[in-house]
Structure 1
Amino acid sequence: MPDSLRVSLQDQLDEITSNTRKLVQPERLAIGERSVEELFATGIEERILPVGALAPEFALKDSAGRLVRSADLLTLGPLVIKFFRGRWCPYCVTELEAWRDLYGQIRERGALLVAISPETQRQSDFAVQQHGIQFPLLHDAEAKLAEQFGLVYTLPEYFRQYLKSVLVNLPFLNGESSWRLPIPATYVLGRDGRVLFAEAHADFRVRPEPADVMAVL
C-alpha cells in the first residue's frame, strides 16, 4: 500500500479536536457538542442516499465558473464525490488536503474526484489557491444537490450565533441566508451512476479513511 494511504486521516482530525479542547473554553465547546448530539438524534445518517442507489445527476460550476456535469465525468470513469461544509472548517480543509495528496493515485486508477460545498465560487477559488487543490471544487447553491443525497440540515439559531461569534458568516460565504449545510459525506459512483460507497457523519469531526474509499475504485 502506498505510504500516503497509511497515514490516518482520522488521527489528523483527532489532533484538531484535541488542540481545540485545550484552547477553547468548556462552555463554548459545549455548544458544538450539543449541536452534534441534536443532529445525530434526528437520524440524518440513516437517511443518506445508500449504496446501490442511482445518484442524481448534477451540473455545477467550479471555482473558475466552468460548468461541470456529472454525466460527462462518468463517461471517463468512476467518480469520488466529497461533500464538505466549507473552507472555514479546519476538518474539511484537512480532509481536502488529504485527498489533494491522493489525487494522482485516483487518476492512475482511472477515476475522478470532485468536492462540493454551498460556498460561492469566490470562496472555492480562495480554497483552490490557498491549498493547492487540483480537483474541481463545485458550488452547490443552497445545498440543493446535497439535499438530494439526504445530507442537508438547517443550523439552529443558537449555533448560528456561535458561528457569528467566531466570525464565520455563512450567509456571506454561501451567498444566501438559509443557514443550510451538508453533513460531510463521501460517495463513489460507478460509471453507471450507481453508488458504490457512501459514508456520512452527523459529527463533523469524523470522516472515512481515504484507503477505504480507494479500495472500491
Structure 2
Amino acid sequence: MSARTTFTSLLALALLPALALAADSKKPADPPTRDKPIKVGEKAPTLTLTSEAGKKVDLAKVYQDGPTVLVVLRGYPGYQCPACSRQAAGFIGAADKFKQAGAKVVMVYPGGVANLGERAGEFLAAQKRSEKSLPEPVVMTLDPDYQLTNAYGLRWDAPRETAYPSTYIIGKDGKVTFAEVSRTHGGRVAADKVLKELGKKKS
C-alpha cells in the first residue's frame, strides 16, 4: 500500500465522526414541550407516530392532505377510559361522513412505553374493532412516553392521568382551525360537532 493510499484511508477514517454528526443534525428534532395547549391559529406540531398495527403515520404529510381531525384520548391511565370508548365509537361510526367531508381522523392513544400497543389493541377490541378493521379515513395511533401530548401542551401530569382529552381540526397549511380541550374526563367533543365545524370551513 502506497503512502498516498494510506494517508487517504486515514483521512477518511478521521472524517467519519464529523460525517455522522452532520447526518444526525439533519434529523428533525422533536417539538418542544409546551406548558399550555395549542390554540386556534397556531401551527400544529408534527411528529411521526406509529399506528396500533405498527405502520408509520407522518403527521406532516397527513396535515398536507387535510383537513385533519386530531382526537387525543386519555389512552391508558391504568384502565380503559369509558368516556374515550364512547367518543371513539362516535367518530368510528361517522367515518363515512368524515370521508365525504374530505377529512381524516387521527385518534391518539397516549401512555407509558410498556405494552402501549397491546393496551390500544384492547381498547379497539372492546369495540369489536382492530386497527386493520377501522374504516377509512380513521386511524388509531400510539403516543408512547407522551411525545405528542407534550408537544401539544396536553399532559395531565397527575396520578392515574395521561393527557387532557382534546379535539383539533388542522388545515392543509398545518394551522389549527378548531380546538377544544377538556380538563375533566368528560366534556368530549362529539363527531357531529366536528362535522358541523368542517362544514363551516367549506362554506
Matches within 5 A, 1:1-217: 47-86=36-75, 88-119=80-111, 120-131=116-127, 132=129, 134=134, 135-156=138-159, 160=160, 181-217=162-198
**2:66/2:170 contact within 8 Å kept:** no
**2:42/2:176 contact within 8 Å kept:** yes
Distance 1:209 1:129, change over 3 A: closer
Tell me the SS of whatever aligns to 1:60.
strand
Query: Quick one: which amino acid aligns to residue 118 of structure 1?
Result: P
Tell me the SS of whatever aligns to 1:137.
strand
- TM-score, normalization: structure 1? 0.64
- TM-score, normalization: structure 2? 0.68
**What is the CA-CA distance between 1:212 and the residue it aligns to?**
2.3
2 CA distance for matches of 1:190 and 1:52? Answer: 10
1 CA distance for matches of 2:103 and 2:69? Answer: 7
The structure whose residues are more often helix, as a share, is: 1
Q: Which runs of 5+ in 2 are unaligned?
A: 1-34, 199-203
Give percent identity, aligned residues only. 27
**What is the CA-CA distance between 1:74 and the residue it aligns to?**
2.2
Q: Residues 78-108 of structure 1: CA distance to partner in whole angstroms, max 9, x if unpaired?
A: 1000001126000000100011111110011
What RMSD in Å do the two structures reach over aligned CA positions?
Answer: 1.8
**What is the CA-CA distance between 1:129 and the residue it aligns to?**
3.3
**What is the CA-CA distance between 1:149 and the residue it aligns to?**
1.0
**What is the CA-CA distance between 1:205 and the residue it aligns to?**
1.5
**Structure 1: 4+ residue segments shifted above 6 A:** none
Q: Of the two, which has the highest radius of gyration?
A: 2
1 CA distance for matches of 2:96 and 2:141? Answer: 19
Q: Residues 129-171 of structure 1: CA distance to partner in whole angstroms, max 9, x if unpaired?
A: 3312612211111112111111102224xxx4xxxxxxxxxxx
What count of residue pairs does the alignment treat as equivalent?
Answer: 150
